[in-house]
Chains A and B, each alone.
Chain A
Amino acid sequence: MLFLQRVVPLHTWILISTFKLSYNLLRRPDGTFNRDLNEYLDRNVTANAVPVDGMYSFDTVDRLTGLANRIYLPARDNEPQLGIVEVEKPLSTSEVVPVIVFFHGGSFVHSSASSAIYDTFCRRLVKTCKAAVVSVNYRRSPEHRYPCAYDDGLTALKWVNSRAWLRSGKENDLKVHIYLAGDSSGGNIAHHVALRAADEGVEVLGNILLHPLFGGEERTESEKRLDGKYFVRIQERDWYWRAYLPEGEDRDHPACNVFGPRSLSLEGLSFPKSLVVVAGLDLLQDWQIGYVEGLKKYGHDVKLLYLEKATIGFYFLPNNEHFESLMDEIKSFIQS
Chain B
Amino acid sequence: MKREHTNHDNFSSSGSCSSSSKPPMWPCDADDELFAVLGYSVKPSDMADVAQKIEHLEQVMCSVENDGLSQLASDTTHYNPSDLSSWLESMISGLNPTPDFDSGVNRMVVDSDFGSDLTAIPGKAVYPNPRAKPPSPAKKLKLSPQETESSESIVMVDSQENGIKLVHSLMACAEAVQKENFKLAEALVKNIGFLAVSQAGAMRKVATYFAEALARRIYGLYPANPDSGFTDLLQMHFYETCPYLKFAHFSANQAILESFAGRDLVHVVDFSMKQGMQWPPLLQALALRPGGPPRFRLTAVGPPSTDNTDQLKEIGRKLGQLANSINVEFEYRGLVTNSLADLTAALVGRREGETVAVNSIFDLHPLLARPGAIDTVLRVVTEVKPEIFTVVEQEANHNGSVFSDRFTEALHYYSTLFDSLESCGGGSDEDRVMSEIYLGRQICNVVACEGADRVERHETLGQWRRRLGAAGFEAVHIGSNAHKQASVLLELFGGGDGYRVEEKHGCLMLGWHTRPLFATSAWRLAS
A residues apposed to B, CB below 8 Å: 1, 5, 10-11, 13-15, 17-18, 21-22, 24-29, 34, 36-37, 40-41, 43-53, 80, 82-84, 115-117, 119-120, 123-124, 127, 316-319, 323-324
Contacts and interface: CB of A to CB of B under 8 A. Distances in A.
Contacts of B450: none
Contact of B69 (A24, A37, A47, A318): A24
A21 B58 contact: yes
Nearest to B51: A14
Nearest to A44: B117
Contacts of B15: 43
B351 interface: no
A5 B194 CA distance: 49
Contact of B191 (A44, A49, A52): A49
A17 B58 contact: yes
Contacts of A47: 161
Given A29-B66, A40-B78, 18 more contacts: A13-B51, A14-B35, A14-B51, A14-B54, A15-B38, A24-B69, A43-B38, A46-B165, A50-B121, A50-B168, A52-B10, A52-B123, A53-B6, A53-B9, A80-B183, A115-B39, A116-B38, A316-B38
B222 to A, nearest CB: 25
Contacts of A48: 121-123, 126, 165
Nearest to A13: B51
Interface of B: 4-11, 14-15, 32, 34-35, 37-40, 42, 47-48, 50-51, 54-55, 57-58, 61, 66-67, 69-70, 73-74, 78, 81-82, 84, 88, 91, 109, 111, 116-123, 125-126, 161, 164-165, 168-169, 172, 183-184, 187-188, 190-191, 194
A25 B81 CA distance: 13
A37 B109 contact: yes
Contacts of B10: 52-53, 120, 123
Contact of B61 (A24, A45, A324): A24
A25 B70 contact: yes
Contacts of A53: 6-7, 9-10, 122-123
21 contacts: A10-B47, A10-B48, A14-B50, A17-B58, A21-B54, A21-B88, A26-B70, A26-B73, A34-B70, A43-B14, A43-B82, A45-B39, A45-B120, A46-B161, A48-B121, A50-B169, A53-B10, A116-B11, A116-B39, A127-B5, A319-B34
Nearest to A68: B161
Contacts of B54: 14, 17-18, 21
Nearest to B162: A46
Contacts of A44: 39, 117
B123 A14 contact: no
Contacts of B6: 53
B57 A46 contact: no
A84 B192 CA distance: 12
Contacts of A84: 191
A116 B109 contact: no
Contacts of B91: 21
B51 A120 contact: no
The 5 closest A-B pairs by CB, nearest first: A43-B39, A25-B73, A116-B39, A52-B123, A318-B4
A88 to B, nearest CB: 19
Given A29-B67, A48-B121, A123 B7 contact: yes
Given A25-B70, A45-B39, A40 B109 contact: yes
Contact of B111 (A14, A21, A40): A40
Contacts of B190: 82
Nearest to B72: A25
B78 A45 contact: no
Contact of A46 (B32, B58, B109, B121): B121
Nearest to B120: A45
B78 A41 contact: yes
A82 B187 contact: yes
A18 B81 CA distance: 10
Given A14-B51, A15-B35, A25-B73, A45 B11 contact: yes
A5 B70 contact: no
A43 B39 CA distance: 5
A116 B70 contact: no
A124 B117 CA distance: 21
Contacts of A127: 5, 7
Contact of A43 (B40, B88, B168, B172): B40
A52 B11 CA distance: 10
